[in-house]
Amino acid sequence: MDIDRAMKNPASTFATPEAVSESSELTAEQERAVLLQWKDQLQQLQTADDEGMRQNDAAASTTDDFLRRVTSALSRIDADLKRASNSG
């Protein structure tokens, strides 16, 4: 896997946010970084939707769904990292 490509455009490397957190090739910190990048990109798309730059309701719905899934995956990773740091 090309980690630089994944960091710049997570959707080009991973089909779903869950695939990021299930990847055996990434550390938890790398998973978190990729998901944060994906979240930022989705929030930018959402802003464009809100400002009327994109008119496709289906695309907006997909953006919202992926943003929820990215946020959920990030929460799980953050919880795992917190548990790991507390048990160390």
pLDDT, tens digit, 9 for 90 and up, residues 34-80 = 999 999 999 998 888 777 766 677 777 888 999 999 999 999 999 99
pLDDT score for 55: 62
pLDDT score for 11: 93
What is d(CA 62, CA 57) in angstroms, rounded to the nearest whole number? 9
Nearest to 16 by CA among 3, 34, 40, 28: 34
Q: Are 38 and 72 in contact (CB under 8 A)?
A: no
Chain-centre distance for alpha carbon 22: 12
pLDDT score for 53: 66
Q: Distance between terminal CA atoms of the chain?
A: 30
What is d(CA 79, CA 14) in angstroms, rounded to the nearest whole number? 22
Q: Phi, psi (5° rounding) for residue 48? A: -60, -40
- Which tokens belong to 76? 């799980």
Share of the chain above pLDDT 70, in %: 95
- In this prediction the pTM is 0.87
